[in-house]
Structure 1
Amino acid sequence: MNKFIALIVGSSLLLAAMIFLLVRNDQSTSITNANGEAAEPLVLFCAASNRAVMEAIRSDYEAEFNRPLQIQYGPSQTLLSSIEVSKTGDLFLPADDSYLAMASDKELVAEIIPVAKMQAVVAVRKGNPKSITQFDDLLSKDARFIQANPDAAAVGKLTRNVLSKVGLWKKLDDATTATHTTVTDVARDIDVGAADAGIVFDAVLHTFDGVDFVELPELADAQANISVGVIASSKQPQAALHFARYAAAIDRGMKRYEEFGFRVDGKESWGDIPELNIFAGSMLRPAIEDTIAAFESREGIRVNRVYNGCGILVGQMKAGQHPDAYFACDSEFMDQVTDLFPERVDVSENELVILVQKGNPNNITTLKDLTRKGLRVGVGHEKQCAMGWLTQKTFREGGIQTKVMDNVTVQSPTGDMLVNQLQAGSLDAAVAYLSNAAGAAEFLDAYPITGISCSTATQPWAVATDSKYPETASRLFQKICSAKSQDDFAAEGFRWKLQTVNTTKTLPGKDPETEE
């Protein structure tokens, strides 16, 4: 019997994918873009539980941007299988982001953008005639309790998972008088009086006038997170990301989600072509510039980056310039703006080294060597950059600050300037980051600073609390944390410090579920 059921389910999934392809190929596009050309439709695979709200968002989006949106509704598992089989489509919006975690594991989606939440609640007839207010009321023989099949529907499986952990599932299962395939069927039975109570997602009840709901503490953890994923094989990722941002914007799609009874807590504003402002220490530029440029191109947005000494950047921020994100050269300069960036992540590390001309003609290998009379030494400016601040701290710990400063002829806001002057022959030595020497190995030699514990800088990243585009900034950070980007950091002399980045935003301990 199990093999027979598996065969039927597998055949159904394949049939769904084939039907979708046939329907898509038969549909013609009559909408044109701003240039009068036929606009290629965006194809969205969407969970049926989101149908009502998504139809409203589709109407808004097509009216505002004159771009058609084709939507395939169905069970989330069936949609995921269709994407995997057909290798088509642009966007995937399941009823719960556990499906996006599965899709991500299979490399079927590239970006994931959170949208809204649904809460499992007890649906009752209007006015709650059975006075159902607590969990034990569901077990009463006087109440006809129904629910969605836990082996077929997300709300049923989610309910089973949550209640099993506290030993209540068997009691509820025994009290269940009937099960249905979908959450909508449960709500419909209660609406027409065929049942007294059932567990549904709260947002599903938006279209059922004859149904109220009761929230129970036992179901508090039974919450579905709704996100939209951009399908990795999409031929139009810019357009797909444009719609995904629209659906998740607090002043566009998220307003509709709230109107339709979903729970929202997003902070991302809408921008047709958002401008993301990033402040970053100059030494980080060679490690992140290519990643930012690629992100900018894929998203179809603008990323305004300001590279400079972190002391200068902090001064600009204290004067009122607030970027969306800040990538500091050292924790000290993030500490100075914690009011703007309270939640930071330490990403990488960089070492101070002694840089000399190729072949080391002056035989300079230690900090003490820098104190020899007649040497021309360059360092970072203590007030203008993290490198200069860390250099002075290193000199103090090494007990050579006074003597070495007698030889300092240049104090620069960036390490690149020191490298240029070394190559030009106007300096004999400089204290800079190892990353500064990464692109000048044929001209310079680098010597590590040993015996000094403070010669390592840590580079933290943070998104501003008042950013208009916090989710977009977070997606940029995910690209910075990609394997390719980590290789770029290593090639530029950085050590990667961050261990993991949560890109799917799946609830801890949550199992993948099947949705109607």
Structure 2
Amino acid sequence: MTSGSIFVKLSSSFGLNLLYGIGLNRPRFFLLASMIVFAALALFLILDLHESSSPSSGPPILLYCAAGIKPPVEMVVRNYEAEYDCKIDIQYGGSGTLLSNLKIAGIGDLYVVADESYIEIARQKNLVEEVIPLAVMTPVIAVPKGNPKGVDSIQALIDGNYKIALGNPGAASIGKISKKLLTESGDWSAIKEHTTVFYPTVPEIANSVKLGTVDAGIVWDATVNQYSDLDLVRVPELELGPQKTTVGVLKTAKNPATALRFARYLAARDRGLIQFKNYGYVPVSGDIWREKPEILFFSGGVNRPAVEQTIQKFEVREGVKVTRVYNGCGILVSQIRAGEKPDAYFACDVSFMTRVQSQFDDSTDISETDIIILTKKGNPKQILALRDLAQAGLRLGVANPDQSALGDLTRRMLLSEGLYDDIIKNVRVETPTADLLVNQLLVGPLDAVIVYEANCANVLDNLELIRLDLSLAKAIQPIAVGRRSGHKHLARRLLEAIQSPQSQIEFESIGFRWIRGRDKGI
């Protein structure tokens, strides 16, 4: 029982007993009793809502963080704890060391790395679920203020017989990327021989340069920006290696919604990323911060049964709200052109994505489904091909060509086959979505409808499907993120969920063919 319900029970009981005690007559007693119960219930709702939505409930978040990005992360954590009265425990170390630790420990909620290659390794090891970008860093040579040794190149480090500090390639991101870039340039063997010390973290390299223990070291540009007594030297060999700092949500997260809430805060342009900028990092273009963000998702009606379960699970895991608008794509396109700005759009066919492509980032083709004829069980009208829909007296249902992709594709298909005028005269019903046609065929006087195969998964016990061997009898479903979305990264994670292997099973079970990745990537 929550503290709110306990309070309401006690207060209402106390109030009723008090009224009995002062001897009110029956009408006044029931009036005042009702007011007390109503007030107590209202207070219960307020207290219960606060308790259920507050990030402070539950155990502390366990965050593994690369030591090189400690300053901004530490500041963001401090702000978040103060704002939401919660606790975040942080374990610092080299990205590689932390990866080994979290794998062995089998616990933890978030993993912040300086180099996203460690996130990819974590994904391959099935340790990480969602990933959110934070900032970009580039390797540079760190030297004392004023560069007293005149270091201006990798070759100068090799030829000058200087004391050099590098990151341990097996423990620190900076060590791993330094080895990779200098191996590619042909300098690794030489500079390795001249290296005085390999450190497991970036701060140790920077501090050794600051204290004069070494003459130079390779660190991130953002690291040098945090030391007033260091300068940086950019060289071509290292400029090829900008890396993206990211936060990953671990599969061991005790409460994914709680972990994702802080990850979104850390990656928000008006929260965490301000601190990254203050500490000399180049932040990505993050989402705006909302404790429980809401995104607008436009989708053609045919896609609804394939994505609805995935979206519901996404809402629970992320702790967000996805407002869905399912309709004919012609209607959706008109709304977008009139000024609606969905965060994501899943079209019934590519032809209805291209009409508004300027409003969205590059789209990805997810699936395809055939356009077919659906008729009564036993096929009483003996419909075998498209031309049979022109027979006298047949009652046909089609989608509206101005309101839906299916209607537009049907019209183009009939025109291409030279059958438009012969068949259109039999049309008795036009609807904005195909599911309405299927329902009217089931319960109404129609003899046949032209719909998508994906509309038929649950009705084939009562209706009969006739395939069309025509090149135009097909629709391809693309999906894209809104170009002006304030929650682009959240919308991209929704698209990733829709493109997941689990989602593929949903699509294929209702008659879609999965084509994600067949022709192009995300």
Q: What's the TM-score bracket when you normalise by the shorter of the two chains?
A: 0.7 to 0.9
The aligned residue for residue 478 of structure 1 is 496
* Distance in structure 2 (CA, Å) of the matches to 1:172 and 1:502: 40
Opposite residue 421 of structure 1, the aligned amino acid is Q
The aligned residue for residue 421 of structure 1 is 440
Output the TM-score relative to the length of structure 1.
0.87
Shift of 1:438: 1.3
The aligned residue for residue 335 of structure 1 is 354
Shift of 1:446: 0.7
Shift of 1:399: 1.4
C-alpha change, 1:182 and 1:233, in structure 2 (3 Å) is closer
Shift of 1:500: 7.5
The aligned residue for residue 494 of structure 1 is 512
Residues paired across the two proteins, number: 472
* Distance in structure 2 (CA, Å) of the matches to 1:420 and 1:437: 11
* Distance in structure 1 (CA, Å) of the matches to 2:178 and 2:475: 48
C-alpha change, 1:172 and 1:296, in structure 2 (3 Å) is same
* Distance in structure 2 (CA, Å) of the matches to 1:36 and 1:99: 28
C-alpha change, 1:272 and 1:483, in structure 2 (3 Å) is same
Output the TM-score relative to the length of structure 2.
0.86
* Distance in structure 2 (CA, Å) of the matches to 1:147 and 1:317: 53
The aligned residue for residue 69 of structure 2 is 50
The aligned residue for residue 510 of structure 1 is none
C-alpha change, 1:34 and 1:366, in structure 2 (3 Å) is closer
The aligned residue for residue 476 of structure 2 is 458
The aligned residue for residue 24 of structure 1 is none
C-alpha change, 1:173 and 1:77, in structure 2 (3 Å) is closer
Opposite residue 302 of structure 2, the aligned amino acid is M
Range 455-464 or range 254-263, more displaced: 254-263
* Distance in structure 2 (CA, Å) of the matches to 1:383 and 1:307: 16
Identical-pair percentage? 41
The aligned residue for residue 122 of structure 1 is 141
Shift of 1:137: 2.4
C-alpha change, 1:195 and 1:82, in structure 2 (3 Å) is closer
The aligned residue for residue 313 of structure 1 is 332
The secondary structure found in structure 2 opposite 1:288 is helix
Given the alignment, which residue of 304, 307, 322 partners 2:323?
Answer: 304
The aligned residue for residue 4 of structure 2 is none
C-alpha change, 1:374 and 1:422, in structure 2 (3 Å) is same
Opposite residue 366 of structure 2, the aligned amino acid is V
Structure 2 contact 96–172 (Cα < 8 Å) conserved: no
The aligned residue for residue 230 of structure 1 is 249
Opposite residue 141 of structure 2, the aligned amino acid is V
2:160 is the alignment partner of 1:141: yes
Q: Which string of whole-angstrom CA distances, capped at 9 and with x for unpartnered residues, describes residues 10-66 of structure 1?
A: xxxxxxxxxxxxxxxxxxxxxx99879865211111121122211101111011111
Structure 2 contact 144–210 (Cα < 8 Å) conserved: yes
* Distance in structure 2 (CA, Å) of the matches to 1:423 and 1:315: 30
User: Structure 1: which 5+ runs fail to align?
Assistant: 1-31, 506-516
* Distance in structure 1 (CA, Å) of the matches to 2:101 and 2:276: 25
Structure 2 contact 267–286 (Cα < 8 Å) conserved: no
The aligned residue for residue 192 of structure 2 is 173
Shift of 1:153: 3.0
Q: Which has the larger radius of gyration?
A: 2
The aligned residue for residue 24 of structure 2 is none
The aligned residue for residue 514 of structure 1 is none
* Distance in structure 2 (CA, Å) of the matches to 1:36 and 1:471: 21
Opposite residue 411 of structure 1, the aligned amino acid is E
Structure 1 contact 416–436 (Cα < 8 Å) conserved: yes
The aligned residue for residue 85 of structure 1 is 104
Q: Which string of whole-angstrom CA distances, capped at 9 and with x for unpartnered residues, describes residues 234-283 of structure 1?
A: 22111000001011111111111111122222231111111110000001
Counterparts in 2 of 1:2-17, with a 5 A limit? none
Q: Which string of whole-angstrom CA distances, capped at 9 and with x for unpartnered residues, describes residues 468-493 of structure 1?
A: 11111111111111222111111111
Structure 1 contact 33–39 (Cα < 8 Å) conserved: no
The secondary structure found in structure 1 opposite 2:213 is coil
The secondary structure found in structure 2 opposite 1:235 is coil
The secondary structure found in structure 2 opposite 1:460 is strand
User: Structure 2: which 5+ runs fail to align?
Assistant: 1-50
Shift of 1:101: 1.6
More helix by share: 2
The aligned residue for residue 378 of structure 1 is 397
The aligned residue for residue 159 of structure 1 is 178
The secondary structure found in structure 1 opposite 2:389 is helix
Structure 1 contact 33–67 (Cα < 8 Å) conserved: no
Given the alignment, which residue of 265, 290, 294 partners 2:309?
Answer: 290
Shift of 1:222: 2.3
Given the alignment, which residue of 486, 510, 515 partners 1:468?
Answer: 486
* Distance in structure 2 (CA, Å) of the matches to 1:153 and 1:414: 55
The aligned residue for residue 451 of structure 2 is 432
